[in-house]
Amino acid sequence: MLGSRLAYSTGLPAVDARDDFARARRAYLTARLGRCLRRRRSLPDQPRTLSDSGLARRAARASRTGVIPLSSIVGTVEPSPHFDARFRPASEHLRPRWERVAVAQRKGLALPPVQVVEGSDGYYLIDGRHRVSVALAAGRRDIEARIA
């Protein structure tokens, strides 16, 4: 699993970010090929989405900032074809932004917390797919979040 590997460093953040993205894309393509060869879909290609009529009410209420485990993020509020269920990049289209986030993380720059809403089975992302994807690719276990 990609998230269990720790990112290595050459000392050049841009080169490392490019390599991180390539590894994350290979992990996505390998998982997709494996599902095709088994002719079953053990995991959906896209993250689960939250379909709850109370979502607007929860998202509008006062939120708090905290650190949450990445493993507790189970889906997104809105669907995206650009990431799979494990937030691996499913499209080359993501490369420039994904690499910018990875470079910022490797340089130790402060990134804004991701925004999540708490569902009955875990957290659903409102904003922050790239940050979650990069954090998982780097082997991080948790992430700062604004929780609604």
Block residue for tokens 């053990």? 42
pTM: 0.77
Find the range with the poorest average confidence among 57-71, 94-108, 118-132.
57-71
Percent of the chain residues past pLDDT 70, beyond the cut: 78
- Which tens digits make up the pLDDT trace of 50-79? 665 455 556 556 689 999 999 999 999 888
Taking all residues of the chain, what is their mean pLDDT, rounded to a whole number? Answer: 83
- CA dist 17 to 24, 36, 85, 90, Å? 10, 29, 21, 16
> What pLDDT score does 100 carry?
96
Flag whether pLDDT at 143 surpasses 60: yes
The one-letter amino acid at 69: P
> What pLDDT score does 101 carry?
97
Cα-to-chain-centroid distance, residue 63: 21
Flag whether pLDDT at 130 surpasses 90: yes
Residue-range domain boundaries for the chain: 9-147
Q: How many angstroms separate the CA atoms of 80 and 48, rounded?
A: 10
